Structures are given as structure tokens and as C-alpha cells.
Structure 1
């Protein structure tokens, strides 16, 4: 038995959501147990004009901007950016690694990661050295000051995630993370991505 369907119109699509009484996650039924039916798009793509504000890229960007604002409000150091925090976490998880490996670990492009490394080094949170076997390769390492910042940030990082997803109920939060991982796990070239650090 299911509840009555809720219907929403989104730029030429009718999305019908039916939530089962069972709270169990079921991947086969879609996001968080919701059944989603889209109609009108393939049959008649010109039903309504293209609205950029309804598009996934625009909505992801707005959600990310909201997350960045929450991060900056809650960071232990106001000058520490979200992508700098991600870089410090990657160094903690992987140990001393090359700049190229850091690109893969953070999904930040080469040009941007160089700027992030420079800023973290100027804050005395990391150190840079040359690879003993290949002098052309730069090795980036977390140092105690960087580890201390991470220890202070961990409780706040959990709070930042909670605040970012605050408008969502628990089932919606699970669904959102599942869908974002599904999109993010598609093979991408990290050199095609850009972040401001």
C-alpha cells in the first residue's frame, strides 16, 4: 500500500513521486524509494521553453554556493576554503604524495592545485620537497600544523554537512548522497574540473 502520489511539474516534465510505506532503501525503485515518472519530454520537447534555472548544472551550482557559504561561516580559520580543506584531508588519507596524485585524490585540476598548494604552504600547513628518485616530481606532505587544523575542523565539518542538507529529511539526504555519488562516479578527466581555492 502506498500514499497518494505527489505531482510536480518541471519544465515540460511531470514527476510523480510515490513513497512506499516501507522505509527500506530500494535501489531498484529509485531515489529513496520514490518512483519517478517523467512524461512529455520525449513526446514533445518544446512543451515549455528551456529554463536554465530548472537545469541540473544550475541547481548543483546554487547548492554548492550555499554549501561554500556554510563552510566559510563555520571554518576554524576564515581564510581556509573548502577545497583547501579537501586537499588537507587528501594528504592525511594518502600521506606524502606527488602533485599529480593529489590531483586524482581531490578531483581538482593541475593549474588550480598548484595555487592551493602555494596557499597552504604560505599558511605553514604543508611542506613541499623533491622526490628522491625523480627530482622533477614535487612531493606534498602534511605537517603538524596542518594536522592540528584538521583535528579542529572535523567536528565542524560534520556540522557543515548537516547544515548543508538541513532542508532535507533523512530519506532525502540518503537519496541525495546516493545520486550525487552515482553522477560523480562516472569517469571524468580531473583536468577538466576547476575549483577556486
Structure 2
């Protein structure tokens, strides 16, 4: 089996005339899920998650937990609603992450004095140290995630991802035709 420039094995298919067809020369499909943005984003996220777990100085810390710690560090003390909004997490996920960080003695959670349903989170010293130590590590993780991209491609990737995020909530998209799934 031939290998590509990265040394990985590549499969070459044969067409009906028994001629070898390399992947870039395959007949065009009606729907190529490999080219869909959701598939590509999921693959990039899988790559980033694997790199984060491999390079993190704390093997128990997840990328989402680190983001929550950073939000708390910037806004300490802060309510779960602030954490949820800032970290782009739903309330149930936020509560679970905060509880796990509390169990690890990285943060304290305290009910609000006025409204006991509201909970505020604050970094403990151990959590503050972890955030400080993880920041340089996180920068290396970002570099590793974007390995293989040149400087212009890195800027373009960050610009485009930010633009997609800032384009608004899907519920706020005004062009209703984008969500019209009826057969035409």
C-alpha cells in the first residue's frame, strides 16, 4: 500500500476499468460528509482534546474545566450564570463542572446571601496556581493544535472561527430560508 507525505498508509481505489484512482481523483459524490463543516470541526476538536490531555500539566483537568477556571479567575467571585455565558456552556454542564472543580479543592462555591438559589464560585489558592501554571502550557497546546499551519493560515483560522461565532445565535439568523428543510 503506498504512503502519503506523512508516512501514513493510503488506500487507492480502482475504477471499473481496473485503473488506480487516487483519493483526489475519485468521482464526485452527491454528498461528501468529509467536506462538511460540522465533520471538520468535530475532527479538529478531537485533535485539540487529545493534544490538551497529552500536554496538560494536570492529567485530570479537561479543556472545559480549564476554561471555567479561567472565567472564575477573571471574574472571581462570580455566579454560575456568568460562568455559563462566558464559557459558552449550558447551565447543567456548568453546574457539573463547577461541582467537580470544587471536589478537587480548586474552587469554593458559596450560596448567595440574598438568593440562596444563586451560587458564586471563587478560586482557591490551589486553583489559582493551577491556572497560572496552565496558561503557558495552554499556549503550547494551541501551537500544537495548529501545527502544520503557517502564520497566515493560523490568523485566518482564528479569524474565521471568531467570525462564525460572532455571526450570532442560530435562532437569531434572519434568513429563514437557511432553515427550510422541505424538499423543493
Q: Same fold (TM over 0.5)?
A: yes
Between the two structures, name the one with larger relative contact order (CA 8 Å, sep ≥ 6): 1
1:89-168 aligned within 5 A: 89-168=70-149
Secondary structure of 2:142's counterpart equals helix
TM-score, scaled to structure 1: 0.70
From 125, 147, 166, the equivalent of 1:185 is: 166
Distance 2:145 2:35 in 1: 20
Larger strand fraction of residues: 1
Q: Residue 29 of structure 1 corresponds to which residue in structure 2?
A: none
- Flag structure 1 segments of 5+ consecutive residues without an equivalent: 1-46, 190-197
Which is greater in Rg? Answer: 2
Larger helix fraction of residues: 2
Distance 2:125 2:168 in 1: 34
Count, aligned residues:
143
- Flag structure 2 segments of 5+ consecutive residues without an equivalent: 1-27, 171-184
Q: Residue 73 of structure 1 corresponds to which residue in structure 2?
A: 54
Distance 2:150 2:137 in 1: 20
Could you list the runs of 4 or more consecutive aligned residues of structure 1 that deviate by over 2 angstroms after TM superposition?
186-189
RMSD: 1.2
Deviation at 1:70, TM superposition (A): 0.5
